[in-house]
Amino acid sequence: MGTPSHDPPEPLAGAHGALVLFSDIACPWATVMVLRLRAARDRLSPGARPPLLHLAHPLELLHRRPLARRVIDAEIPACAAAAPQLGWSLWQGRLDEYPVSSLLALEAVQAARRQSEAAAEELDLALRRALFAESRCITLRHEVLRAADRCPRLDRARLLDDLDRGVARSAVMRQSAAARAGAAACTGYLVLPDGAGHCNPGLTTAWLGPPVPGGTPTVTRDDPDVYATLLATPGAAPP
């Protein structure tokens, strides 16, 4: 396929001709960012559409605990209202089958980046849809591969080989360490080509009431048009 057999660049401070995203696939707010960026980019002419470079910022490493279903389910209604095109759903599976980790899914996206950024974009979105629209346990290898089956730009056999050899795990850990050291202020962090960073662009949220398991998240400001402005940033368009 003429694809690289090594880790692609990890432009922590921005990349000319591309947008860098630090996120966790299991973060609903980051998923809103991904959906809105893709929608805004689709409105550009084909030659002006920058790639989205996905870097990992796992919530479980940030907070040192399993993925929190109660928090994520509480956030989903607000996120579904902000970006309904995903077909969101609260978790419909058995409670004991909820994914406790997204590391394998994030590792798969980094393995896909070794093929192409386009393949990684496809897989990232397919995994978000598997979790948030289809209630699939993306902690599991076969669910990751099931999502990969939906990605026409992805060489599934190569992805499977890379996953089983663990070639992309070090990339996930390296990116997570960089994010926690200050490269990303949140999971859902966008870095523009000039190095400017934005946490969940256009969205400001608050938590109403007592802490989890009580309370509920709320959106206090929402400006989806900000994505068109961000895509017009000098250096964002491919050279």
User: pLDDT tens across 16-29, in order?
Assistant: 999 999 999 999 99
Give CA separation, 118 vs 51, 53, 112, 124, 223, in Å. 7, 9, 9, 10, 27
Q: What is the pLDDT of residues 154-206, one digit of tens each?
A: 999 999 999 999 999 999 999 999 999 999 999 999 999 999 999 999 999 99
Residues forming a β-bridge with 56: 23
Which pLDDT value is given to residue 2?
40
CA pair distance 213, 222, nearest whole angstrom: 25
Of 129, 141, 157, nearest to 101 by C-alpha is 141
Give CA separation, 97 vs 27, 123, 138, in Å. 18, 22, 10
CA pair distance 150, 153, nearest whole angstrom: 9
Considering only residues 20 and 213, tell me which one the structure prediction assigns the higher pLDDT.
20
Q: What is the pLDDT of residues 82-125, one digit of tens each?
A: 999 999 999 999 999 999 999 999 999 999 999 999 999 999 99
CA pair distance 158, 72, nearest whole angstrom: 32
CA pair distance 8, 171, nearest whole angstrom: 9
Q: Where are the domains of the chain?
A: 19-199
Which pLDDT value is given to residue 155?
98
Which pLDDT value is given to residue 3?
46
Region 61-82: what's the mean pLDDT? 95
Q: Which CATH superfamily is domain 19-199 in?
A: Glutaredoxin (3.40.30.10)
In degrees, rounded to 5, the angle at the alpha carbon of residue 56 between the alpha carbons of residues 190 and 67 is 110
Which pLDDT value is given to residue 61?
97
Which pLDDT value is given to residue 231?
94
Mean pLDDT, the chain, whole residue set: 94
CA pair distance 40, 224, nearest whole angstrom: 9
Region 135-140: what's the mean pLDDT? 98
Q: What is the pLDDT of residues 1-11, one digit of tens each?
A: 344 557 899 99
